[in-house]
Chain A
Protein backbone atom coordinates (compact mmCIF):
# COMPACT_ATOMS: atom_id res chain seq x y z
CA UNK A 1 0.00 0.00 0.00
CA UNK A 2 2.74 2.39 1.01
CA UNK A 3 4.58 1.51 -2.16
CA UNK A 4 1.46 2.24 -4.16
CA UNK A 5 1.08 5.61 -2.54
CA UNK A 6 4.72 6.42 -3.21
CA UNK A 7 4.23 5.47 -6.82
CA UNK A 8 1.16 7.64 -7.10
CA UNK A 9 2.99 10.51 -5.47
CA UNK A 10 5.94 10.11 -7.79
CA UNK A 11 3.62 10.09 -10.75
CA UNK A 12 2.01 13.21 -9.42
CA UNK A 13 5.34 14.95 -9.10
CA UNK A 14 6.60 13.93 -12.51
CA UNK A 15 3.36 14.93 -14.15
CA UNK A 16 3.27 18.19 -12.29
CA UNK A 17 3.04 20.43 -15.32
CA UNK A 18 1.33 18.00 -17.62
CA UNK A 19 -2.20 17.93 -16.27
CA UNK A 20 -4.72 20.14 -17.99
CA UNK A 21 -7.50 21.55 -15.86
CA UNK A 22 -10.36 19.19 -16.58
CA UNK A 23 -12.55 20.47 -13.86
CA UNK A 24 -14.64 17.67 -12.54
CA UNK A 25 -12.14 14.88 -12.10
CA UNK A 26 -8.52 14.59 -11.17
CA UNK A 27 -6.49 14.20 -14.35
CA UNK A 28 -3.49 13.02 -12.35
CA UNK A 29 -5.51 10.28 -10.69
CA UNK A 30 -7.04 9.18 -13.98
CA UNK A 31 -4.15 9.26 -16.44
CA UNK A 32 -0.50 8.27 -16.19
CA UNK A 33 1.53 11.07 -17.76
CA UNK A 34 4.74 9.12 -17.29
CA UNK A 35 3.69 6.68 -20.00
CA UNK A 36 2.63 7.16 -23.60
CA UNK A 37 0.73 4.85 -25.91
CA UNK A 38 0.59 4.90 -29.70
CA UNK A 39 -2.61 3.46 -31.10
CA UNK A 40 -3.85 3.00 -34.64
CA UNK A 41 -7.29 1.84 -35.59
CA UNK A 42 -10.72 2.57 -36.96
CA UNK A 43 -13.11 5.02 -35.32
CA UNK A 44 -16.25 3.26 -34.10
CA UNK A 45 -17.98 5.99 -32.17
CA UNK A 46 -17.74 9.73 -31.52
CA UNK A 47 -19.24 11.17 -28.33
CA UNK A 48 -19.33 14.93 -28.64
CA UNK A 49 -20.56 15.65 -25.12
CA UNK A 50 -19.87 18.32 -22.56
CA UNK A 51 -17.43 18.52 -20.94
CA UNK A 52 -15.25 15.88 -22.55
CA UNK A 53 -15.36 14.56 -26.08
CA UNK A 54 -14.59 10.90 -26.60
CA UNK A 55 -13.61 9.00 -29.72
CA UNK A 56 -13.69 5.21 -29.64
CA UNK A 57 -11.25 3.30 -31.81
CA UNK A 58 -10.95 -0.39 -32.62
CA UNK A 59 -7.31 -1.36 -32.31
CA UNK A 60 -6.00 -4.75 -33.44
CA UNK A 61 -3.11 -6.03 -31.33
CA UNK A 62 -0.20 -8.26 -32.34
CA UNK A 63 -2.28 -11.40 -31.72
CA UNK A 64 -5.01 -10.18 -34.01
CA UNK A 65 -7.40 -9.39 -31.20
CA UNK A 66 -9.57 -6.32 -31.66
CA UNK A 67 -9.93 -4.09 -28.63
CA UNK A 68 -11.97 -0.96 -28.37
CA UNK A 69 -10.17 2.03 -26.83
CA UNK A 70 -11.88 5.09 -25.39
CA UNK A 71 -9.89 8.23 -26.18
CA UNK A 72 -10.67 11.36 -24.22
CA UNK A 73 -10.06 14.74 -25.81
CA UNK A 74 -10.74 17.17 -23.00
CA UNK A 75 -13.03 20.15 -22.99
CA UNK A 76 -15.14 20.53 -26.11
CA UNK A 77 -14.98 24.33 -26.00
CA UNK A 78 -11.19 24.26 -26.08
CA UNK A 79 -11.41 21.77 -28.92
CA UNK A 80 -13.73 24.02 -30.83
CA UNK A 81 -11.44 27.00 -30.35
CA UNK A 82 -8.62 24.86 -31.72
CA UNK A 83 -10.61 24.14 -34.88
CA UNK A 84 -11.88 20.69 -33.93
CA UNK A 85 -15.49 19.91 -34.54
CA UNK A 86 -17.92 17.05 -34.22
CA UNK A 87 -17.12 16.06 -37.81
CA UNK A 88 -13.34 16.24 -37.68
CA UNK A 89 -13.17 12.46 -37.51
CA UNK A 90 -16.03 10.21 -38.52
CA UNK A 91 -16.98 6.63 -37.85
CA UNK A 92 -14.94 4.44 -40.19
CA UNK A 93 -11.94 6.80 -40.38
CA UNK A 94 -8.58 5.24 -39.67
CA UNK A 95 -6.52 7.27 -37.21
CA UNK A 96 -3.19 7.13 -35.42
CA UNK A 97 -3.26 8.47 -31.88
CA UNK A 98 -0.66 9.48 -29.32
CA UNK A 99 -2.03 9.45 -25.80
CA UNK A 100 -1.49 9.19 -22.07
CA UNK A 101 -2.92 5.83 -20.93
CA UNK A 102 -5.28 5.58 -17.99
CA UNK A 103 -3.95 4.19 -14.76
CA UNK A 104 -4.88 0.57 -14.21
CA UNK A 105 -5.83 -1.81 -16.95
CA UNK A 106 -8.71 -0.08 -18.71
CA UNK A 107 -8.44 0.59 -22.44
CA UNK A 108 -8.77 4.28 -22.04
CA UNK A 109 -6.37 7.12 -22.80
CA UNK A 110 -6.14 10.89 -23.06
CA UNK A 111 -5.31 11.87 -26.64
CA UNK A 112 -2.57 14.41 -27.27
CA UNK A 113 -2.31 14.02 -31.05
CA UNK A 114 -4.44 12.47 -33.77
CA UNK A 115 -3.38 11.86 -37.39
CA UNK A 116 -5.72 10.72 -40.14
CA UNK A 117 -4.07 7.60 -41.55
CA UNK A 118 -5.46 8.11 -45.06
CA UNK A 119 -4.14 11.64 -45.54
CA UNK A 120 -1.35 11.83 -42.97
CA UNK A 121 -2.91 15.06 -41.79
CA UNK A 122 -2.63 15.90 -38.11
CA UNK A 123 -6.19 16.74 -37.12
CA UNK A 124 -5.63 17.31 -33.45
CA UNK A 125 -2.84 18.43 -31.17
CA UNK A 126 -3.60 19.21 -27.55
CA UNK A 127 -3.30 22.90 -26.92
CA UNK A 128 -5.01 23.31 -23.60
CA UNK A 129 -5.02 27.06 -23.65
CA UNK A 130 -7.96 29.43 -23.67
CA UNK A 131 -5.99 32.62 -23.27
CA UNK A 132 -7.26 35.60 -25.15
CA UNK A 133 -6.27 39.20 -25.37
CA UNK A 134 -7.65 41.56 -22.75
CA UNK A 135 -10.12 44.09 -24.12
CA UNK A 136 -8.88 46.99 -21.95
CA UNK A 137 -12.51 47.99 -21.42
CA UNK A 138 -13.62 49.41 -18.08
CA UNK A 139 -15.94 47.41 -15.85
CA UNK A 140 -19.52 47.69 -17.19
CA UNK A 141 -22.01 49.50 -15.02
CA UNK A 142 -25.75 49.81 -14.55
CA UNK A 143 -27.36 53.20 -15.23
CA UNK A 144 -27.10 54.04 -11.53
CA UNK A 145 -23.35 53.44 -11.62
CA UNK A 146 -23.21 50.08 -9.87
CA UNK A 147 -20.83 47.58 -11.40
CA UNK A 148 -22.42 44.83 -13.49
CA UNK A 149 -21.14 41.31 -12.90
CA UNK A 150 -22.60 39.86 -16.09
CA UNK A 151 -22.42 40.84 -19.77
CA UNK A 152 -23.69 44.07 -21.24
CA UNK A 153 -27.08 43.88 -23.00
CA UNK A 154 -26.65 42.46 -26.48
CA UNK A 155 -23.29 40.91 -25.67
CA UNK A 156 -22.31 37.37 -24.85
CA UNK A 157 -19.71 36.22 -22.41
CA UNK A 158 -19.14 34.45 -19.14
CA UNK A 159 -16.52 34.02 -16.48
CA UNK A 160 -13.94 31.36 -17.24
CA UNK A 161 -10.52 30.26 -16.08
CA UNK A 162 -9.19 31.01 -12.60
CA UNK A 163 -5.68 32.28 -11.95
CA UNK A 164 -4.84 29.49 -9.50
CA UNK A 165 -5.82 25.82 -9.41
CA UNK A 166 -6.94 25.63 -5.79
CA UNK A 167 -7.76 27.61 -2.68
CA UNK A 168 -5.02 28.35 -0.17
CA UNK A 169 -4.49 31.01 2.46
CA UNK A 170 -3.21 34.34 1.15
CA UNK A 171 0.21 34.70 2.74
CA UNK A 172 2.17 36.60 0.14
CA UNK A 173 3.47 33.60 -1.79
CA UNK A 174 1.74 31.18 -4.09
CA UNK A 175 1.79 27.48 -3.21
CA UNK A 176 2.88 25.33 -6.17
CA UNK A 177 0.17 22.91 -7.24
CA UNK A 178 -0.72 21.29 -10.53
CA UNK A 179 -3.86 21.80 -12.57
CA UNK A 180 -5.75 19.37 -10.37
CA UNK A 181 -4.80 21.35 -7.23
CA UNK A 182 -2.40 18.62 -6.14
CA UNK A 183 0.47 20.10 -4.18
CA UNK A 184 3.88 20.03 -5.82
CA UNK A 185 5.36 19.40 -2.39
CA UNK A 186 3.38 17.78 0.41
CA UNK A 187 5.53 19.68 2.88
CA UNK A 188 3.43 22.71 1.89
CA UNK A 189 0.29 21.25 3.50
CA UNK A 190 0.70 23.43 6.56
CA UNK A 191 0.78 26.56 4.38
CA UNK A 192 -2.52 25.82 2.68
CA UNK A 193 -4.77 26.59 5.64
CA UNK A 194 -4.73 26.68 9.46
CA UNK A 195 -6.04 23.13 9.80
CA UNK A 196 -7.26 21.34 12.85
CA UNK A 197 -5.26 18.10 13.12
CA UNK A 198 -8.00 15.84 11.73
CA UNK A 199 -8.65 18.18 8.81
CA UNK A 200 -4.95 18.38 7.97
CA UNK A 201 -4.61 14.61 8.08
CA UNK A 202 -7.66 14.14 5.87
CA UNK A 203 -6.50 16.77 3.37
CA UNK A 204 -3.05 15.21 3.21
CA UNK A 205 -4.58 11.78 2.71
CA UNK A 206 -6.73 13.06 -0.14
CA UNK A 207 -3.69 14.68 -1.72
CA UNK A 208 -1.64 11.47 -1.41
CA UNK A 209 -4.44 9.60 -3.12
CA UNK A 210 -4.35 12.16 -5.96
CA UNK A 211 -7.94 13.22 -5.22
CA UNK A 212 -9.30 9.97 -6.62
CA UNK A 213 -12.10 10.04 -4.00
CA UNK A 214 -13.39 13.45 -5.06
CA UNK A 215 -17.20 13.37 -4.71
CA UNK A 216 -17.52 15.60 -7.76
CA UNK A 217 -16.53 12.65 -9.92
CA UNK A 218 -19.79 11.12 -8.72
CA UNK A 219 -21.65 14.23 -9.89
CA UNK A 220 -21.89 15.84 -6.44
CA UNK A 221 -22.36 19.62 -6.89
CA UNK A 222 -19.36 21.97 -6.56
CA UNK A 223 -20.54 24.04 -3.61
CA UNK A 224 -18.58 26.81 -1.92
CA UNK A 225 -15.59 28.45 -3.60
CA UNK A 226 -15.27 25.45 -5.86
CA UNK A 227 -18.12 26.69 -8.03
CA UNK A 228 -15.78 29.44 -9.22
CA UNK A 229 -13.05 26.95 -10.00
CA UNK A 230 -14.68 24.68 -12.53
CA UNK A 231 -13.26 24.58 -16.02
CA UNK A 232 -16.58 25.37 -17.66
CA UNK A 233 -17.21 28.77 -16.25
CA UNK A 234 -20.10 30.55 -14.65
CA UNK A 235 -22.36 33.49 -15.18
CA UNK A 236 -24.08 36.08 -13.00
CA UNK A 237 -27.69 37.01 -13.73
CA UNK A 238 -28.50 40.12 -11.72
CA UNK A 239 -32.25 40.27 -11.10
CA UNK A 240 -32.26 43.62 -9.35
CA UNK A 241 -36.03 43.95 -9.39
CA UNK A 242 -36.30 40.65 -7.52
CA UNK A 243 -33.53 41.43 -5.06
CA UNK A 244 -31.32 38.54 -6.04
CA UNK A 245 -28.38 37.47 -8.16
CA UNK A 246 -28.33 34.06 -9.77
CA UNK A 247 -25.04 32.30 -10.30
CA UNK A 248 -25.38 29.90 -13.23
CA UNK A 249 -22.73 27.23 -13.25
CA UNK A 250 -21.20 25.67 -16.32
CA UNK A 251 -19.39 23.05 -14.31
CA UNK A 252 -22.15 21.55 -12.23
CA UNK A 253 -25.30 19.71 -13.21
CA UNK A 254 -26.76 22.82 -14.77
CA UNK A 255 -26.67 24.09 -11.19
CA UNK A 256 -27.52 27.53 -9.98
CA UNK A 257 -27.05 29.39 -6.76
CA UNK A 258 -29.14 32.26 -5.40
CA UNK A 259 -27.55 35.28 -3.71
CA UNK A 260 -30.26 37.31 -2.00
CA UNK A 261 -29.71 41.07 -2.19
CA UNK A 262 -33.01 42.13 -0.61
CA UNK A 263 -31.45 43.07 2.75
CA UNK A 264 -32.75 40.02 4.55
CA UNK A 265 -30.84 39.01 7.71
CA UNK A 266 -27.52 37.31 7.13
CA UNK A 267 -26.28 34.09 8.67
CA UNK A 268 -29.64 32.33 8.86
CA UNK A 269 -30.13 29.02 7.13
CA UNK A 270 -33.33 29.13 5.12
CA UNK A 271 -33.48 25.80 3.36
CA UNK A 272 -35.21 22.91 5.12
CA UNK A 273 -32.10 20.81 4.80
CA UNK A 274 -28.45 21.78 4.69
CA UNK A 275 -27.41 22.31 1.10
CA UNK A 276 -24.42 22.34 -1.23
CA UNK A 277 -24.69 26.05 -1.96
CA UNK A 278 -25.90 27.26 1.42
CA UNK A 279 -28.04 30.32 2.10
CA UNK A 280 -26.35 33.41 0.68
CA UNK A 281 -27.09 37.05 1.39
CA UNK A 282 -25.23 39.79 -0.47
CA UNK A 283 -24.75 43.51 -0.24
CA UNK A 284 -22.75 46.03 -2.19
CA UNK A 285 -19.89 47.84 -0.49
CA UNK A 286 -18.89 50.44 -3.11
CA UNK A 287 -17.83 48.31 -6.12
CA UNK A 288 -17.56 45.07 -4.19
CA UNK A 289 -20.34 42.53 -3.75
CA UNK A 290 -19.99 41.01 -0.27
CA UNK A 291 -21.81 37.70 0.23
CA UNK A 292 -22.20 35.82 3.50
CA UNK A 293 -23.32 32.19 3.41
CA UNK A 294 -24.21 29.48 5.91
CA UNK A 295 -26.17 26.23 5.91
CA UNK A 296 -23.77 23.88 4.10
CA UNK A 297 -23.93 20.12 4.30
CA UNK A 298 -20.82 17.93 4.57
CA UNK A 299 -21.38 15.83 1.47
CA UNK A 300 -18.98 17.59 -0.87
CA UNK A 301 -15.47 19.02 -1.12
CA UNK A 302 -15.87 22.77 -1.01
CA UNK A 303 -12.61 23.39 -2.86
CA UNK A 304 -10.59 21.72 -5.56
CA UNK A 305 -7.78 19.82 -3.88
CA UNK A 306 -9.90 18.36 -1.11
CA UNK A 307 -9.99 20.82 1.79
CA UNK A 308 -12.40 19.42 4.42
CA UNK A 309 -15.20 21.40 6.02
CA UNK A 310 -17.99 20.87 8.52
CA UNK A 311 -21.56 22.08 8.90
CA UNK A 312 -20.13 25.01 10.87
CA UNK A 313 -18.74 26.44 7.63
CA UNK A 314 -19.45 30.10 7.13
CA UNK A 315 -18.18 31.85 4.02
CA UNK A 316 -17.71 35.54 3.34
CA UNK A 317 -17.08 36.14 -0.35
CA UNK A 318 -16.05 39.37 -2.02
CA UNK A 319 -16.53 39.88 -5.75
CA UNK A 320 -14.85 42.84 -7.43
CA UNK A 321 -14.68 43.60 -11.16
CA UNK A 322 -11.78 46.04 -11.57
CA UNK A 323 -12.08 45.96 -15.38
CA UNK A 324 -14.24 44.32 -18.00
CA UNK A 325 -12.15 41.15 -18.26
CA UNK A 326 -11.27 40.50 -14.62
CA UNK A 327 -13.19 39.32 -11.59
CA UNK A 328 -11.37 39.28 -8.29
CA UNK A 329 -12.75 36.62 -5.96
CA UNK A 330 -11.83 36.60 -2.29
CA UNK A 331 -13.26 34.21 0.26
CA UNK A 332 -12.90 34.08 4.02
CA UNK A 333 -13.42 30.59 5.42
CA UNK A 334 -14.73 30.52 8.98
CA UNK A 335 -15.17 26.91 10.06
CA UNK A 336 -14.20 26.24 13.68
CA UNK A 337 -15.00 22.58 13.07
CA UNK A 338 -12.11 22.16 10.66
CA UNK A 339 -9.78 25.17 11.06
CA UNK A 340 -8.19 26.87 14.02
CA UNK A 341 -9.11 30.38 12.88
CA UNK A 342 -10.81 32.15 9.97
CA UNK A 343 -8.59 32.46 6.90
CA UNK A 344 -8.76 34.09 3.51
CA UNK A 345 -7.79 33.06 0.00
CA UNK A 346 -8.33 34.69 -3.38
CA UNK A 347 -7.87 34.44 -7.09
CA UNK A 348 -8.83 36.23 -10.26
CA UNK A 349 -11.11 34.93 -12.99
CA UNK A 350 -10.99 35.90 -16.64
CA UNK A 351 -13.92 36.95 -18.81
CA UNK A 352 -14.53 34.84 -21.91
CA UNK A 353 -16.30 37.09 -24.42
CA UNK A 354 -18.60 35.98 -27.20
CA UNK A 355 -19.83 32.70 -25.77
CA UNK A 356 -22.34 31.41 -23.26
CA UNK A 357 -21.96 28.65 -20.72
CA UNK A 358 -23.18 25.39 -22.15
CA UNK A 359 -25.52 22.72 -20.95
CA UNK A 360 -23.71 20.14 -18.89
CA UNK A 361 -25.16 17.18 -17.03
CA UNK A 362 -22.57 15.13 -15.23
CA UNK A 363 -24.67 11.98 -15.30
CA UNK A 364 -24.34 11.62 -19.04
CA UNK A 365 -20.68 12.35 -19.02
CA UNK A 366 -18.22 9.64 -19.92
CA UNK A 367 -16.44 9.74 -16.60
CA UNK A 368 -19.56 9.13 -14.60
CA UNK A 369 -21.53 6.78 -16.78
CA UNK A 370 -20.32 4.64 -19.59
CA UNK A 371 -16.75 4.22 -18.45
CA UNK A 372 -17.41 3.49 -14.79
Chain B
Protein backbone atom coordinates (compact mmCIF):
# COMPACT_ATOMS: atom_id res chain seq x y z
CA UNK B 1 0.00 0.00 0.00
CA UNK B 2 2.86 2.33 0.83
CA UNK B 3 4.50 1.52 -2.46
CA UNK B 4 1.22 2.11 -4.31
CA UNK B 5 0.80 5.47 -2.57
CA UNK B 6 4.34 6.42 -3.41
CA UNK B 7 3.80 5.50 -7.05
CA UNK B 8 0.59 7.57 -7.16
CA UNK B 9 2.45 10.51 -5.68
CA UNK B 10 5.25 10.08 -8.19
CA UNK B 11 2.75 9.93 -11.05
CA UNK B 12 1.09 13.07 -9.73
CA UNK B 13 4.40 14.85 -9.72
CA UNK B 14 5.42 13.71 -13.17
CA UNK B 15 2.23 13.81 -15.21
CA UNK B 16 1.46 17.56 -15.03
CA UNK B 17 4.79 18.18 -16.71
CA UNK B 18 4.41 15.48 -19.31
CA UNK B 19 4.93 16.59 -22.88
CA UNK B 20 1.98 17.06 -25.15
CA UNK B 21 3.28 15.92 -28.49
CA UNK B 22 2.56 18.44 -31.22
CA UNK B 23 2.83 17.29 -34.80
CA UNK B 24 1.09 20.25 -36.45
CA UNK B 25 2.54 23.68 -37.13
CA UNK B 26 5.95 23.64 -35.43
CA UNK B 27 5.51 26.99 -33.66
CA UNK B 28 2.16 26.27 -32.06
CA UNK B 29 2.40 25.97 -28.29
CA UNK B 30 3.75 27.59 -25.15
CA UNK B 31 7.48 28.23 -25.07
CA UNK B 32 9.49 29.00 -21.94
CA UNK B 33 13.03 30.21 -21.43
CA UNK B 34 14.96 33.38 -20.96
CA UNK B 35 17.04 36.03 -22.67
CA UNK B 36 19.84 38.34 -21.67
CA UNK B 37 23.21 39.76 -22.63
CA UNK B 38 25.16 37.06 -20.78
CA UNK B 39 24.62 33.95 -18.67
CA UNK B 40 24.25 35.93 -15.43
CA UNK B 41 21.79 38.60 -16.53
CA UNK B 42 18.72 36.69 -17.68
CA UNK B 43 15.05 37.63 -17.92
CA UNK B 44 12.40 34.95 -17.90
CA UNK B 45 10.51 34.63 -21.15
CA UNK B 46 7.24 32.91 -21.97
CA UNK B 47 6.03 33.05 -25.54
CA UNK B 48 2.68 31.62 -26.59
CA UNK B 49 2.18 31.08 -30.31
CA UNK B 50 -0.67 29.71 -32.35
CA UNK B 51 -0.98 29.14 -36.10
CA UNK B 52 -4.43 30.11 -37.38
CA UNK B 53 -3.90 28.95 -40.94
CA UNK B 54 -2.61 32.28 -42.19
CA UNK B 55 -0.58 33.84 -39.40
CA UNK B 56 1.16 32.98 -36.18
CA UNK B 57 -0.41 35.01 -33.39
CA UNK B 58 0.33 35.10 -29.69
CA UNK B 59 1.70 36.76 -26.60
CA UNK B 60 4.99 37.40 -24.91
CA UNK B 61 4.86 36.89 -21.15
CA UNK B 62 1.08 36.41 -20.80
CA UNK B 63 -0.38 38.24 -17.82
CA UNK B 64 -0.99 41.84 -16.81
CA UNK B 65 2.06 43.08 -18.73
CA UNK B 66 1.79 40.77 -21.69
CA UNK B 67 2.92 41.91 -25.12
CA UNK B 68 0.96 40.94 -28.22
CA UNK B 69 3.13 39.44 -30.92
CA UNK B 70 3.16 41.64 -33.99
CA UNK B 71 4.60 39.63 -36.81
CA UNK B 72 6.02 36.13 -36.69
CA UNK B 73 7.73 34.82 -39.78
CA UNK B 74 8.84 31.22 -40.22
CA UNK B 75 11.28 30.53 -43.04
CA UNK B 76 10.78 26.84 -43.75
CA UNK B 77 13.87 26.62 -45.95
CA UNK B 78 16.07 26.70 -42.85
CA UNK B 79 13.47 26.75 -40.01
CA UNK B 80 14.47 30.22 -38.89
CA UNK B 81 11.97 32.44 -37.10
CA UNK B 82 11.67 36.20 -36.79
CA UNK B 83 9.44 37.69 -34.10
CA UNK B 84 8.46 41.34 -33.80
CA UNK B 85 6.39 43.04 -31.14
CA UNK B 86 5.96 46.36 -29.42
CA UNK B 87 6.28 46.50 -25.62
CA UNK B 88 5.97 49.53 -23.34
CA UNK B 89 8.30 50.41 -20.49
CA UNK B 90 7.21 51.68 -17.06
CA UNK B 91 6.83 55.21 -18.39
CA UNK B 92 4.63 54.07 -21.22
CA UNK B 93 7.27 54.57 -23.86
CA UNK B 94 7.25 52.18 -26.81
CA UNK B 95 9.98 49.56 -26.73
CA UNK B 96 10.32 47.53 -29.92
CA UNK B 97 11.14 43.84 -29.63
CA UNK B 98 12.79 41.93 -32.46
CA UNK B 99 14.11 38.40 -32.20
CA UNK B 100 15.65 36.05 -34.71
CA UNK B 101 16.28 32.41 -34.03
CA UNK B 102 16.33 28.94 -35.41
CA UNK B 103 14.18 25.95 -34.52
CA UNK B 104 16.19 23.00 -33.27
CA UNK B 105 15.20 19.44 -32.51
CA UNK B 106 12.11 19.97 -34.62
CA UNK B 107 10.73 16.46 -34.10
CA UNK B 108 10.59 16.78 -30.33
CA UNK B 109 7.61 18.04 -28.37
CA UNK B 110 10.26 19.96 -26.45
CA UNK B 111 11.83 21.52 -29.53
CA UNK B 112 13.84 24.67 -28.97
CA UNK B 113 14.13 28.11 -30.51
CA UNK B 114 17.51 29.79 -30.05
CA UNK B 115 18.80 33.11 -31.32
CA UNK B 116 19.21 36.81 -30.68
CA UNK B 117 16.74 39.00 -28.78
CA UNK B 118 16.63 42.81 -29.05
CA UNK B 119 14.41 44.83 -26.76
CA UNK B 120 14.79 48.57 -27.04
CA UNK B 121 18.49 49.35 -26.81
CA UNK B 122 19.32 46.02 -25.13
CA UNK B 123 20.40 42.89 -26.94
CA UNK B 124 21.22 39.34 -25.95
CA UNK B 125 20.78 35.70 -26.69
CA UNK B 126 17.57 33.80 -26.03
CA UNK B 127 16.61 30.19 -25.69
CA UNK B 128 13.02 29.00 -25.64
CA UNK B 129 11.88 25.43 -25.14
CA UNK B 130 8.42 24.33 -26.09
CA UNK B 131 6.62 23.14 -22.95
Nearest CB in chain A: distance from B49 CB, A = 13
Name the A residues within 8 Å of B41 (CB-CB): none
Contacting B at CB under 8 A, from A158-201, are 197-198, 200-201
**B64 near A: Cβ within 8 Å?**
no
Interface string of B104-131 (1 = CB under 8 A from A): 0011000000000000000000000000
Partner-contacting stretch, out of B4-12, B16-24, B31-39, B82-90:
B16-24
**A338 near B: Cβ within 8 Å?**
yes
Name the A residues within 8 Å of B53 (CB-CB): 310, 312, 336-337
Name the A residues within 8 Å of B107 (CB-CB): 209, 213
Say whether chain B's binding surface is mostly helix, strand, loop, or mixed.
loop
A300 to B23, CA, bound (A): 6
Nearest CB in chain B: distance from A55 CB, A = 32
Name the one of B21, B23, B24 contacting A337, with C-beta atoms under 8 angstroms: B24
**A5 near B: Cβ within 8 Å?**
no
Q: Knowing A308-B23, A310-B53, A337-B53 are in contact, say whether A298-B76 is a contact too (CB < 8 A).
A: no
User: Does A198 contact B21, Cβ atoms closer than 8 Å?
Assistant: no
User: Does A198 contact B23, Cβ atoms closer than 8 Å?
Assistant: no
Name the one of A197, A205, A213, A309 contacting B24, with C-beta atoms under 8 angstroms: A309
Name the A residues within 8 Å of B26 (CB-CB): 198, 202
A205 to B26, CA, bound (A): 12
Name the A residues within 8 Å of B106 (CB-CB): 202, 205
Nearest CB in chain A: distance from B128 CB, A = 18
Nearest CB in chain A: distance from B9 CB, A = 23
Interface string of B27-68 (1 = CB under 8 A from A): 010000000000000000000000111000000000000000
User: Does A311 contact B76, Cβ atoms closer than 8 Å?
Assistant: no
**A220 near B: Cβ within 8 Å?**
yes
A178 to B46, CA, bound (A): 42
Name the one of B21, B51, B74, B77 contacting A215, with C-beta atoms under 8 angstroms: B21
Name the B residues within 8 Å of A312 (CB-CB): 53
User: Does A298 contact B74, Cβ atoms closer than 8 Å?
Assistant: no
Name the A residues within 8 Å of B25 (CB-CB): 198, 308, 310, 337-338
Name the one of A205, A220, A308 contacting B21, with C-beta atoms under 8 angstroms: A220
Report B's interface with A, CB cutoff 8 A.
Answer: 20-26, 28, 51-53, 74, 76-77, 79, 106-107
Known: A205-B106, A298-B28. 17 other contacts (CB 8 A): A198-B74, A198-B76, A200-B76, A201-B77, A201-B79, A202-B106, A209-B107, A298-B22, A298-B23, A298-B24, A301-B23, A308-B23, A308-B24, A309-B23, A310-B24, A310-B51, A337-B24
Report A's interface with B, CB cutoff 8 A.
Answer: 197-198, 200-202, 205, 209, 213, 215, 220, 298-301, 308-312, 336-338
